[in-house]
Amino acid sequence: MIHARGLTRSFKIKGGAVEAVRGIDIDVEAGQLVAFLGPNGAGKSTSLRMLTSLLPPTSGSATVAGHDIVKDPGGVRARIGYIGQKNGSGENFRIRDELVSQGRCYGLSRAQARVRADEVLQQLDLASMATRKPGTLSGGQRRRLDIALGLVHRPDLLFLDEPSTGLDPQSRANIWEHILRLRAEHGTTLFLTTHYLEEADSMAERVIIIDHGKIIADGTAAQLKSDLAGDRIIVTFSSESDAVQAASIAERMTGTAPAVTAAPAAASTQAAVSAGAFAQTATPAGAFAQTAAAPAATAIADPVVSATVSAASASAVTDVAGAAVVVSAAVVQVRVAQAGAALPEYLRALEAAGVKAIAAETSRPTLDDVFLALTGRTLRESEATPVAEPAAV
Amino acid sequence: MPFVRDTVTIFQREIAPTLRDPLGLLFTMMQPLLFLFLFGPLLSGNTGLQEAPWQWFVPGILIMMCLSGPMMAGYFLLVELIGGAMERMLVTPISRTAMLIGRTLKEFVVLLAQAALIIGLSVPLGFRPNAAGVLAGLALLVIFGIGLGALSFVLAIASAPGGELFYGITQLIMFPLLLLSGVLLPIESGPAWLQTVAAFNPVTYIVDAERALFAGDLTSMSALYGLLAAVAVCAIGLTLGTRAMRRGI
């Protein structure tokens, strides 16, 4: 359905050019539901706008729904639906009129367009609002109207840019119900971007992660999580010496060397300084840890929490370099394939060695952990300092 | 003809809210009439204009409306650009040029209705139009207006997503274009430098042409220059407009 090769787009801004998308390759087969994930400014929307023929690529090529996006944009447009980030309906127009216009834009006759308008109104539970103007609808209803506009011509491939952003949980669930039903009933191929990691995780069968204009991961959510992040077991001890001993036991079990960090976490008022200290001692990936230390500075309230946060970052980061055991203060973190099975085993080994654990928990990775493992920062941090997408010149 | 069909599609979309809102339509029609009845008497009192002020004044009002109508089309486009409606339609296979022309045509239907009203009501006041000349004059305005509309779309596209540029430039050029064209007051009474500047204003030629045509002077040089100016504006507007649309928004 989608075959993109080396798709690149740069924008001119003051003092040079910004490469928003740097040579991405994407292949999507018919019937797939793909979530396209990345922080603001990563190049999601720009990629989508290229694939939908809205924006010509600076270089590279793509075939979408069997047609070349540069040589035959009309062929692409006739076969795809696109639901943008903003509301697609004009403020001055009645809802049904907009749907009829949309059908006419796709070349339907007036009679056909009217029939289709009524069908999609019905399909998205908007029939009672047909003569109203978009301004009178709720956020969820407006979003359903956007989807209705994208469905008028029965596309086989539908692009959705942040379909559920800004909606309350109930409306989000409702939008997803419609999206999934569309797929179940018509086998529509869906390619969507989302801010909500849990949505990508639970709904999409394939997740593509983009950062700084490049694709950095591609696979099922489960694959990405087990390959790139892994489960963790987190055990707290009453003293640092216990923790060090426990780490060497974990090391024997997993067969790797532990990454031991200094333990200044208790000095919570100097969290920023201690974060620096972490970074220097968090071997072997010092350069990565420099960025990973940032969250420690934000979690300053409770020493244990602080340690866990920084250790979690350090763990995920050092995972890239192969370390599976991380010690910070009195907390040991072990990365394992199956935390549920590994934890009892580990606790038995500790008991046999006479080391007393005072708390133990397991943690399943999220897609955020995957992003962290790949980039050294979390998606939420990246969101905090959004890079505005420059306009085309 | 897909192009004609696409133009009709956009035109129908744009005109529907106007037709569905009779009160708004009433106000739209009132505005030029107020101008006619409040400004006109002043003109006939101030007789620097010999004995036929209406002959001079009515084409002027039509051109003023022809300047503001297409600018409004640009404004509506800007609103849809800032929202998502424009993007939604650009993803459909509809012709880009048809999107421009359909929108301008809608402004023109309103404009032509206003023009008919003004001409009809000014005849009892002493306006003596030539029928063939009026038709030719209105056709000229349509050509000019489509070009202006397309230029205002280019400006709207360049101004998105903020829009400040659009408001700034339209405010800035509207009055010089009007004053330096002789729409409201005759250029001939101004100083030489002003007449020189006016010679570079395409609106000047349109105004002269309209006055000649409405007076029945269909074969005058004024009419020819006006036609050339209108065709030039139209060609430049459509070329730039279609290119701006193709480049991506």
Q: Would residue A336 count as lying in a domain?
A: yes
What secondary structure letter does DSSP report for A37? E
Closest-CA residue of A relative to B78 is: A90
Q: Would residue A389 count as lying in a domain?
A: no
A81 contacts on B by Cβ (under 8 Å)? 91
Q: Does one domain contain both A85 and A169?
A: yes
Q: Does one domain contain both A181 and A254?
A: no
Q: Does one domain contain both A237 and A202?
A: no
> CB–CB of B93 and A74 under 8 A?
yes
> Residue A188: phi, psi to the nearest 5?
-65, 135
Domain regions of chain B by residue span? 2-246
Residue with the larger pLDDT of the pair A8 and A166: A8
Q: Would residue A371 count as lying in a domain?
A: no
Q: Does one domain contain both A178 and A309?
A: no
From the list B41, B29, B63, the residue with the least C-alpha distance to B177 is B63
Of A78, A94, A105, which is closest to B89 when you measure between CB atoms? A105
Sorted by sequence, the CB contacts under 8 Å of residue A98 that are 6+ apart come out as: A89, A90, A134, A145, A149, B13
> CB–CB of B87 and A54 under 8 A?
yes
For residue A35, give both structure tokens.
């979530």
Q: Does one domain contain both A145 and A178?
A: yes
Distance from CA of A368 to the nearest CA of B (A): 30
Best probe of the B interface among A105, A142, A159, A389, by most B CBs < 10 A, is: A105
pLDDT tens per residue across span B39-59: 777 766 655 555 567 788 888
Q: Does one domain contain both A319 and A236?
A: yes
**What CATH number is associated with residue A191?**
3.40.50.300
Size of interface A-B (CB pairs under 8 A): 85
A90 contacts on B by Cβ (under 8 Å)? 80, 83, 85
Average pLDDT over residues B192-211: 85
Q: Does one domain contain both A313 and A333?
A: yes
Q: Does one domain contain both A186 and A38?
A: yes
Q: Would residue A393 count as lying in a domain?
A: no
Mean pLDDT lowest for which of A97-111, A149-163, A289-303, B156-170? A289-303
**Dihedral of the CA atoms B86, B92, B96, B99 (nearest 10)?**
-60
Burial label, A357 (beta-carbon count in 10 A; 0-12, 13-18, 19+)? middle
- Rounded CA-CA distance A183/A163 in Å is 15
Query: A54 lies in which domain range?
Result: 2-226
B83 contacts on A by Cβ (under 8 Å)? 86-87, 90-91
Q: Does one domain contain both A219 and A92?
A: yes
B94 contacts on A by Cβ (under 8 Å)? 105-106
Contact A271, A300 (CB under 8 A): yes
Q: Is the pLDDT of residue A243 over 70?
A: yes
Contact A21, A47 (CB under 8 A): yes
| Per-residue model confidence (pLDDT) at position A255 | 67
Contact A306, A271 (CB under 8 A): yes
Contact B140, B213 (CB under 8 A): yes
Please report which confidence band the pLDDT of residue A329 belongs to, taking 50, 70 and 90 as the band edges.
Answer: confident
Closest-CA residue of B relative to A152 is: B92
- Rounded to 5°, the CA angle A106-A112-A113 comes to 50
What secondary structure letter does DSSP report for A38? -
Q: Is the pLDDT of residue A309 over 80?
A: no
Of B13, B17, B84, which is closest to A88 when you measure between CB atoms? B84
| Per-residue model confidence (pLDDT) at position A315 | 39
> CB–CB of B91 and A392 under 8 A?
no
pLDDT tens per residue across span B61-120: 888 888 888 788 888 888 898 888 988 999 999 988 888 888 888 888 888 888 888 888
- Rounded CA-CA distance B85/A147 in Å is 13
**What is the pLDDT of chain B when averaged over all its residues?**
84
Last residue of a domain, one of A192, A211, A226: A226
Q: Would residue A22 count as lying in a domain?
A: yes
| Per-residue model confidence (pLDDT) at position B46 | 57
Which residues of chain B have a Cβ shorter than 8 Å from any chain A Cβ? 2, 5-6, 9, 12-13, 16-17, 20, 79-80, 83-85, 87-94, 160-161, 247-249
> CB–CB of B93 and A107 under 8 A?
yes
Q: Does one domain contain both A25 and A168?
A: yes
Q: Would residue A382 count as lying in a domain?
A: no
* Counted domains in chain A: 2
Q: Does one domain contain both A255 and A218?
A: no
| Per-residue model confidence (pLDDT) at position A76 | 93
Please report which confidence band the pLDDT of residue B125 belongs to, taking 50, 70 and 90 as the band edges.
Answer: confident
